[in-house]
Amino acid sequence: MIRSIYLDREDAKKVENEESNIFVRSILEKIGVPLKDIWPEIELNVKQKVLLRDLLIKLDIEIINNFDREYEIYCGDNLLAKWSKPKFILREDKKARNPNKRFYYEMVINTWSVFDQEEKSE
Has residue 80 got a pLDDT over 70?
yes
Residue 38: CA atoms inside 13 Å, Cβ hemisphere, count? Answer: 15
Whether the pLDDT of residue 121 is over 60: the answer is no
Check: CB of residue 103 under 8 Å from CB of residue 8: no
- Does the global pTM surpass 0.85? yes
> How confident is the model at residue 67, as a pLDDT?
80
How many domains does the chain fold into?
Answer: 1
Domain that holds residue 46: 2-121
Give CA 11 to chain center in angstroms. Answer: 15
Residue 2's DSSP bridge partners are 110
